[in-house]
Amino acid sequence: MNLNEIIEKLPYTKPFLFVDELQHVDENSISGSYTFKEDLDFYKGHFKGNPVTPGVILTETMAQIGMVCLGIYLLGDAFNNETVIAFTSADMQFLKAVYPNEKIMVTAQKTFFRFGKLKCEAVMKNEAGQEVCKGILAGMITTKL
Amino acid sequence: MNKEELIAKLKVIIKPYTANSEAYDNLTENTDFIKDLEINSANLVDIVLDIEENFDVVIDNTDMERMLDVKTAVEIIETKLAAK
């Protein structure tokens, strides 16, 4: 499965797709990037007159790149319309603010993928290479729950 | 390790993943992980991984699918320990 095929298989679309491209994937890790365009709807309200990317959106971005894209790759042909995806836990640290039009890179290392549960350690960096967010994410990616 | 000791050890493993504390306090062999303790499938995986670590056994997919109540979990762990 190539990198573009993984993105095509993602079950998200605008305004909730937070993956632009993937740079690398293997059995144990993945990296990808996304640019938070200034016209994203949540900037109108977070915060009033002072747009900053919400932590929940950073977490979602890390989950889409670090967990769902990696999970799709790991499942391979077993990923289909029957596959159920559920975000089950996140233990995150938010280190720096991410402003409109910033491009971020997410890299994730698989901790384990067993019995349909994928757990990863993920790091998000800004274009200056500074860590903006990091944490441990887990989810189910399986044909039944 | 006898059955009582095994259940006691299992109970410690299950505790952090339990969503129904009353069912946990009244845990018996017939307690169901999902119906009684209200443990979700993601945490059920954590329990199985903790069982592997604590009892030094390997659980396969077939065992995992059966491991839905205390009684079956104990049976599977006993079988794995006996085979060592």
Per-domain residue ranges for chain A? 3-142
The question of ipTM being above 0.85 is answered as: yes
> Closest by alpha carbon to B13, among B59, B51, B70, B68?
B51
Residue B37 maps to which CATH number? 1.10.1200.10
What pLDDT digit, counting tens, does each position of B32-61 carry?
Answer: 999 999 999 999 999 999 999 999 999 999
Which residues of A are designated catalytic?
46
The conformational region for residue A85 under phi > 0 = left, psi -120 to 50 = alpha, else beta, is: beta
Q: Report the CATH architecture of A3-142.
A: Roll (3.10)
CA distance B53 to chain A (A): 14
Tell me if A119 sits within 8 A of A81, measured CB to CB.
Answer: no
| Model pTM score | 0.92
Q: Which of B41, B52, B66 to mutate to test the interface with A (most CBs of A within 10 A)?
A: B41
Six token digits for residue B3: 């059955």
pLDDT band, very low/low/confident/very high, at A144 (cuts 50, 70, 90): low
Q: What percent of chain B has pLDDT over 70?
A: 100
Domain that residue B30 falls in: 3-82
State the total domains in chain B.
1
Report angle CA A92, A4, A122 to the nearest 5 degrees: 15
